[in-house]
Amino acid sequence: MQGKWVISDLDGTLLDSRQQITQAVKQRIRLFQQDGGFFTLATGRSLNSALPFIEELNIKVPVILYNGAKLYDPIQKVFLKEHALPVSSFRHALYNYELTGEGLGLNVLVFCQEQIYCPSITNTVERYMQKDKVNIIETSMSDLYDLFQSSTKIMFLGDPDALKSFQEKCFSRTEQPVAPLWHAVQSEPELLEILPPNVNKGSACLELIEVLGLDMADLTAVGDNLNDIEMIALIPNGVAVQNAHPILKETADWVTSRSNDEDAIIEVFDQKAVAI
């Protein structure tokens, strides 16, 4: 699989504000693939949520899911790499939700073996389900604790200020010992994700390179938010779209002049570093 690669984030990067991929972008990706290029995704979404886009774009190479916690092969239909939350991190997250997060009006989702669970389907959770087109199973808090053995990540949803306060109090660096027990990241202002330690899109890119024997110089990565920072910093040609978070723009090698609503990814394909 040697050749030029483009690894793109989904929300806010490849998808427009209507959560769609425009025909112009799909056509440009097809041309890139037909010319021998490889296109794939690096997203915080679960497999069920990302699969329609994988099929729509006819992606035949591994895809990064759960912000780096899983590497999925769409041809073999298997996970090549999987990382789970340590039990202590899992319990820390749920305990602090009950102690602090719930009082801040936050919602909690537990991602376990391609299912999503929560203690209450609120309006906020409904909106998340509609946006990501996923089904969420309502269950009790006591039953959530029973999912500790194979949970991929825990997500908190709610007001950005409340999430910031919650993260600073319960998931700051000072809350961890020397060896990290989790990786906390915001992929959107209304979402806080607790991932396995040392897991991010950058670490998943390294796993992709190792599994396929790729040359990092052939890779281009594109993103828009804070969960893309490790990937954009790692890849020699790291790109931020125009609508990206200011910190990501500072991290990127360059910034597109177009936003995700203006087919920014086409601008990426047209640059010399990607051209085949």
Q: What is the pLDDT of residues 128-176, one digit of tens each?
A: 999 999 999 999 999 999 988 889 999 999 999 999 999 999 997 666 6
- Check whether residue 152 and residue 69 sit in a common domain: no
Higher pLDDT pick, 177 / 64: 64
- Check whether residue 191 and residue 209 sit in a common domain: no
**Residue 274 counted as domain residue:** no
The amino acid occupying position 254 is W
- The confidence band for 67, taking pLDDT boundaries of 50, 70 and 90, is very high
Give the CATH number for residue 41: 3.40.50.1000
- Check whether residue 76 and residue 209 sit in a common domain: yes
**Considering the entire predicted model, what is its pTM?**
0.95
Specify whether the CB–CB gap between 263 and 25 falls below 8 A.
Answer: yes
Give the CATH number for residue 96: 3.30.1240.10
Q: How many CA atoms lie within 13 A of 272 on its CB side?
A: 0
- Check whether residue 100 and residue 31 sit in a common domain: no
Per residue in 10-64, pLDDT (tens digit) is 999 999 999 999 999 999 999 999 999 999 999 999 999 999 999 999 999 999 9
Q: Which of 195, 226, 242 is the last residue of a domain?
A: 195
- Check whether residue 254 and residue 179 sit in a common domain: no
Domain range spanning residue 55? 5-82+199-269
DSSP state of 244: S
- Check whether residue 67 and residue 91 sit in a common domain: no
Say if residue 110's pLDDT is above 80.
Answer: yes
Confidence at residue 174, expressed as pLDDT on a 0 to 100 scale: 64
Q: How many domains does the chain have?
A: 2
